[in-house]
Amino acid sequence: MGMAEALDRLPGASTSPAERFRAALGPYEEGIALQRQNFRRRYPTLTPAELDALIEAWLAREPAG
């Protein structure tokens, strides 16, 4: 049994794995949007392609800690 199936068997687990995944995507996408705004403020002369490259590099970095 996988993790998703185990979570589905918990009492009160009324949402599907797909619904939980979609719910998790919201904060993830909001975080990317916030970082994009931060980079725009810090580097106002970046082209859209340069900004996209900076976001991709930021997403690919190793987590701190």
Q: Which residue has the higher pLDDT, 25 or 58?
A: 58
Q: How many Cα atoms sit within 13 Å of 59 on the Cβ side? A: 13
Region 12-41 average pLDDT: 86
pLDDT of residue 46: 96
pLDDT at residue 42 above 70? Answer: yes
What pTM was estimated for this model as a whole?
A: 0.65
Region 19-36 average pLDDT: 89
Is the dihedral angle over the CA atoms 48, 49, 52, 57 positive or is it negative? negative
Q: Which residue has the higher pLDDT, 32 or 19?
A: 32
pLDDT at residue 2 above 80? Answer: no
Where residue 61 falls (left for φ over 0; alpha for ψ -120 to 50; beta otherwise) is beta
